Amino acid sequence: MAINTSKYSNKQIEQMLTEMVDVLDKHRAPADLSLMLVGNIATNVLNQEVPAEQRKIIAEKFAQALLSSLDTPKTH
């Protein structure tokens, strides 16, 4: 998913992503469980770290970024 990485190094992002994927692989989590867990993490971060009045706006931006980062088949 495309994110603004200006304050985080690519190395830091890649290392954390690898560790998170390793946990999912360790537990042999299928795609639906992995997505459920990632969704729960996003919800927890929004509820715990984002002021209530900004949560919906941030969640919508997150959803838009997720949709724009998906590989989609090319139409002719």
Q: How many domains would you assign to the chain?
A: 1
* 74 pLDDT tier (thresholds 50, 70, 90): confident
Predicted confidence at residue 72, as pLDDT, reads 85
In a domain, 6, yes or no: no
Distance between CA 61 and CA 44 in Å, rounded? 16
Predicted confidence (pLDDT) per residue in 26-73, tens digit: 999 999 999 999 999 999 999 999 999 999 999 999 999 999 999 888
Question: In the prediction, which pLDDT does 38 show?
Answer: 96
> Checking phi first, is residue 28 left (phi over 0); if not, alpha (psi -120 to 50) or beta?
left
Domain enclosing residue 52, as ranges: 33-67
Q: Is the pLDDT assigned to residue 13 strictly greater than 70?
A: yes
| C-alpha gyration radius of the chain | 15
In a domain, 59, yes or no: yes
Q: The whole model's pTM is what?
A: 0.78
Does some domain include residue 61?
yes
- Cβ neighbours around 62 below 10 Å, total: 15
Q: What is the pLDDT at residue 69?
A: 92
